[in-house]
Amino acid sequence: MHKDLESIVLTREQIAQKVKEAASWLDEKFKDSKPLAISVLKGSVFFFCDLLREMKTPVQLDFMTVSSYGSKAQSSGMPKIVMDLAASVEGRDVILVEDIVDSGHTLVRMRDLIMGRGAKSFTTVALFDKPSRRQVDIKADYSCFEIADEFIVGYGLDYAQQYRNLPYVGILKRSIYGNV
């Protein structure tokens, strides 16, 4: 285990199992359509690749970089689009892939933006859900894991851009991020 972690909450194998289940759910839901999957970068990138590789449905991909944190452990409440999508979402069935739904601000921002651009439908899949931290009333259509109010890193999730490439997910020691 990485020295900055307090404990491991999910192993690589536990994640892989849930990712398969999420892919089956999407296959069932989109069996008659050609959805466009959007990865909210950077946090969802490992989840996005593993999820899409498990899907049987033909799917197109696009990416958007959204930043809500700066280098703090708390959302600014004003997610910023740092890099926009390459293609139009008009008339498309969109699958938005998120790492974690925390305050919910990012998801609201993405939904309003994508539906505002004329998408046909909007479905969200999140690896993690932290319901106790919600500030706005929104929920992913599918969440792989519900977690308590702990700051976690690994498998895409970062603190100050670090720890993203850990293959497991763990709780970051409080001494690393202090009283934020």
Catalytic residues: 102
State which of positions 55-74 bind ligand IMP (CB under 6 A): 68-69
Q: Are 145 and 162 in contact (CB under 8 A)?
A: no
Q: Does 104 bind ligand IMP (CB under 6 A)?
A: yes
d(CA 122, CA 37): 10
Distance, C-alpha 119 to centroid of its chain: 19
Residue 54 DSSP label: H
DSSP element (H, E) containing 114:
helix 105-116
Q: Does 5 bind ligand IMP (CB under 6 A)?
A: no
Report which residue type is found at 58.
P
Min dist. Cβ of residue 100 to Mg ion (A)? 7
Of 4-12, 31-39, 103-111, 115-123: span binding ligand IMP (CB under 6 A): 103-111
State which of positions 12-41 bind ligand IMP (CB under 6 A): none
DSSP element (H, E) containing 12:
helix 12-29
Min dist. Cβ of residue 91 to Mg ion (A)? 26
**Nearer of residues 50 and 99 to ligand IMP, judged by Cβ:** 99
**Nearer of residues 50 and 99 to Mg ion, judged by Cβ:** 99
Q: Does 43 bind Mg ion (CB under 5 A)?
A: yes
For the chain, state the CA radius of gyration: 16
**151, 166, 168, 170: which one contacts ligand IMP (CB under 6 A)?**
151
DSSP element (H, E) containing 63:
strand 60-67
47-69 exposure pattern, b = at least 16 Cβ within 10 A, e = fewer:
bbebbbebbebebeebbbebebb
Min dist. Cβ of residue 22 to ligand IMP (A)? 16
Site string for ligand IMP, 83-102 (x = CB under 6 A): ---------------xxxxx
User: Where do contacts with ligand IMP occur on this chain (CB under 6 A)?
Assistant: 43, 68-69, 75, 79, 98-106, 151-153, 157-158
User: Where do contacts with Mg ion occur on this chain (CB under 5 A)?
Assistant: 43, 99
